Amino acid sequence: MFEEHLQKLPHGREFCFIDSIVSLEHGKSAEGKYMVKGDEAFLKGHFPELPIMPGVILVESVAQLAGVAVQSDLHSAPLADLRLCAMKNVKIKGTATPGEVMFISAEVTGRLGSLIQARGTVYVNEEMILTAELTLGGRLDQ
């Protein structure tokens, strides 16, 4: 239903950590899901005996979902080259392993021109495994 919004992200499909968008409030917030398939290339080395999603990928999933919310704003033009610029107050409290579904949420908390402030969470099995505050930046095209 909301998959057309995923196409507005600059990532190739191989580096998209959102399988589906569950809800979207244009320009404000989004919720999505990602199932850890187990065949992701990076899991072979993280860690071979007990594969877990790297913490930076958990953060990336929130950044991507925040990007979906920002790029769907009905009152502002999409930003070109939208990227993750900064992270703060990142807390990794758990893990996601193959076969588990990550429930991701992102909320836009502020916007100043081409800079976006957002916060988000990732849950697995109703347990919060990540909280983060992020800054995204892009370019305003005229």
Q: CA–CA separation, 97 vs 5, rounded Å?
A: 26
Render pLDDT for 50-85 as a digit per residue (tens, 0 to 9): 999 999 999 999 999 999 999 999 999 899 999 999
Can you spell out the DSSP letters for 56-99? HHHHHHHHHHHHHHHHT-SSSPPPEEEEEEEEEEEEE-----TT
Q: Which amino acid is at 43?
A: L
**Domains assigned to the chain:** 3-139 (3.10.129.10)
Q: List residues with catalytic annotation.
A: 46
Render pLDDT for 19-40 as a digit per residue (tens, 0 to 9): 999 999 999 999 999 999 999 9
